[in-house]
Chain A
Amino acid sequence: MSLESDIPSWVQALAGGGLIGLSAALLMGLEGRILGISGFVRSVLEADPKLKGPSTAFLLGLVLVGILAQFYFVDTLTNTQPRSYMITILAGLLVGYGTAMGNGCTSGHGVCGLSRFSYRSLIATLSFMAAGMLTVTLHRVLMGGM
C-alpha cells in the first residue's frame, strides 16, 4: 500500500505539516512543553529525572510509527539519496553535536520557535537552512553532478 495517491505531494506536505503543528500545539496546551526532538533525546541521554520518562515515551511513539510504516506504508521511508556509511554516521555526529550545542533542531527551533516568533529560533533556523543548502550544493558539485 502507498500513501502516494492522486493527492498532489504539496497537499500531502501541507497536511503533514498541519499534523506536526497540531502535535506541537497539543504538547504545549496539555503539558506546557515545547516539542523538540533533539531536546527529548538530550533529556534521555542526560537522564533528566523529570523529563526522561515523558521524552522516552514520545520517542517510542515515533519508533512505533516507523515500525507500522515499514509494514503498511514502506514508500514513506524511501531513500533515493543514500550516502556512504561513513558520511551517514558523520552526518549523525554533526546533527547530534550541533543540535545539543544550538539547543534545538527542525522541530524545536523551526516549528515551535518560529510559531512563537522567537528571534533566537529564527536565527537558528536561517543558520541551519543556509548550512544545509550550501552542503547539498557543494555535495552535488563535488560529486560531479550539476
Chain B
Amino acid sequence: MKQQITHFIIGILFGIGLLLSGMTQPGKVIGFLDIFGNWVPDLAFVMIGAILINSIAHKFLMRRGRPLFGTGFNLPSKKDLDRPLIQGSILFGIGWGLAGFCPGPAIVSIGGLQTPAILFGIGLVIGASVFIVKKNQVK
C-alpha cells in the first residue's frame, strides 16, 4: 500500500509539472516540433529544467547505492541499439507530431474530459495491446 501511495503522490506532482510546463496543450507541442514554421521554443525549457534537476539527483542517488523504500535501483540493462528501439521511437514521433500528445499529458487531459485526449487514449491502449499480443505470440 505504501508503494501505491508514493506512486500516487509522485503522479500528482508529475501531473502538475506537465500542466505548468504547457505539455498538456497540444498546440504548444506541435508549435515546438514545427521548427521550420512558426517555432514555439518553450518546450525546450521543459526538457532543460527536467534534465537539469534529474541528472544532478541521479548522480547523487547512484552514489547513495539504493532507494529509500527498496532494495536496489531498477535500471535497464540493455546498452546496444536495436531496430525495435529506433523503429518504435519513430512511430511514436509520428503519432506525437500528428496530434500533439505524448502518453503522460494525454492521461492528464483524459482526466480533464478532453475529447481529443480520450480518442487518443483509446488508440494508445489498442496500439500498446496489439504490440503486447504480437510479442507474446512470437514467444
Indicate whether A and B interact: yes
Residues of A within 8 A of B (CB): 3, 9-35, 37-38, 41-42, 45-46, 53-67, 69-70, 73-74, 76-83, 85, 87-107, 109-112, 114-120, 123-125, 127-137, 139-140, 145-146
In the complex the two chains form, what is the Cα distance from A136 to B99 in whole Å? 9
A89 cross-chain contacts in B, Cβ below 8 A: 119-120, 122-123
Label chain A's interface by main secondary structure.
helix
Q: Are B89 and A128 in contact (CB under 8 A)?
A: yes
* Closest chain B residue to A111, Cβ basis: B50
Query: In chain B between 92 and 139, which residues have their CB closer than 8 angstroms to a CB of chain A?
Result: 92-104, 106-114, 116, 119-132
Counting contact residues on chain B (CB < 8 A from A), the size range is 35 or more
Q: Are B96 and A124 in contact (CB under 8 A)?
A: no
In the complex the two chains form, what is the Cα distance from A70 to B106 in whole Å? 14
A125 cross-chain contacts in B, Cβ below 8 A: 89
Given contacts A83-B98, A94-B127, contact A63 B107 (CB under 8 A): yes
B104 cross-chain contacts in A, Cβ below 8 A: 37, 62, 105-107
A110 cross-chain contacts in B, Cβ below 8 A: 47
